[in-house]
Amino acid sequence: MRIKDFIISQGAPLTIITGPCVIESEDHVLRCAEHLKKLLSNFPVSFIFKASFDKANRSSIQSYRGVGLDKGLRILQRVKEELDLPVTSDIHLPEEAEAVKDVLDLIQIPAFLCRQTDLLVAAAKTNLPINVKKGQFVSPWDMENVVQKIRSSGNDQIMLTDRGTSFGYNNLVSDMRAIPVMKKMGVPVCFDASHSVQLPGGLGEISGGQREFIPTLSKAAIAAGANALFIETHPEPEKALSDSASQMSFEAFETLLNELVPIYEACTKKPNRLASSC
């Protein structure tokens, strides 16, 4: 899959999708994007900036959703133009696909909506690359139907993202077998380490999370063959207006990158003749 001036595929540099969960303000997003660009320029990775203009699946009616479609797209356009970064955000309704196509470089389909045919087809018709998150209730092999829905419109720029599977009430479990299963569909696969450590609705009106396990799951996903990682970051996670329990601080994120890059390079390095003969 091609995004701007790089590709996401086997053997290509690791792609990192990161940014705050939701757009909190124009100034906040621009500061986050600028900081993350500088941070990631020190690593051999490709970077896509992510922030949601609307989080339509909040636990409570009182939860902060974002700045909305129009204002959110204007902010993401500034990130794209002023910082020369590819940007992504999620859409929830078919009509939003047309609205975002001239701003986003990658359309994200939320996990809860991964089976919504009209939404998938509308996104596909923009001819933009599409990242579909596997629903917590969907098996990895059933994502083949999702891929075919998008391909039916002539769009083959598809990436699938694993973000955990429902494991009883208010809990998720990550099955790393999902990564090679979905890669066999001929698409790159991303692992969403932030949402995989969520405890959905675990705190009543908001979701809980166990961010301390993001490093462990990220490393396991790379070893399993993931082409990209989705990790939400925030300068002060405890003050984040959405998903505060499952976002990483910039400092912790930088530490993790220093551990992830060598693992990715080791896993994607072609075996030498001695190793292949063992």
Question: For the residues of 222-255, what is the DSSP string, one character each?
Answer: HHHT-SEEEEEEESSGGG-SS-GGG-EEHHHHHH
Average pLDDT, the chain: 94
Inform me whether the pLDDT recorded for 278 exceeds 90. Answer: no
Inform me whether the pLDDT recorded for 249 exceeds 60. Answer: yes
Q: How would residue 202 be classed by pLDDT, with cut points 50, 70 and 90? A: low
B/e letters for 43-69, b = 16+ CB within 10 Å, e = fewer, are bebbbbbbbbbbbeebeeeebebbbeb
pLDDT tens digits, 44-79: 999 999 999 998 877 778 888 999 999 999 999 999
Domains and CATH numbers, the chain: 2-277 (3.20.20.70)
Cα separation, 145 vs 276, whole angstroms: 36
Predicted local confidence at residue 62, as pLDDT: 80
pLDDT tens digits, 73-87: 999 999 999 999 999
Inform me whether the pLDDT recorded for 190 exceeds 70. Answer: yes
Inform me whether the pLDDT recorded for 34 exceeds 70. Answer: yes
Mean pLDDT, range 140-160, rounded to an integer: 98
pTM confidence score:
0.94
Predicted local confidence at residue 272, as pLDDT: 60
Question: For the residues of 2-58, what is the DSSP string, one character each?
Answer: EETTEE-STTSPPEEEEE-SB---HHHHHHHHHHHHHHHTTSS-EEEEE-BS--TT-
Q: Worst-scoring range by mean pLDDT, 75-84, 131-140, 198-207, 261-270?
A: 198-207
**CA distances (Å), origin 114, targets 135, 179, 248, 250:** 6, 17, 25, 30
Mean pLDDT, range 190-212, rounded to an integer: 85
Mean pLDDT, range 138-145, rounded to an integer: 98
DSSP code at position 103: T
Cα separation, 251 vs 237, whole angstroms: 11
Mean pLDDT, range 220-228, rounded to an integer: 98
Predicted local confidence at residue 204, as pLDDT: 65
pLDDT tens digits, 226-243: 999 999 999 999 999 998
Q: How would residue 220 be classed by pLDDT, with cut points 50, 70 and 90? A: very high
Q: How would residue 276 be classed by pLDDT, with cut points 50, 70 and 90? A: very low
Dihedral sign for Cα atoms in the order 175, 159, 266, 87: negative
**Does 56 or 167 have the greater pLDDT score?**
167
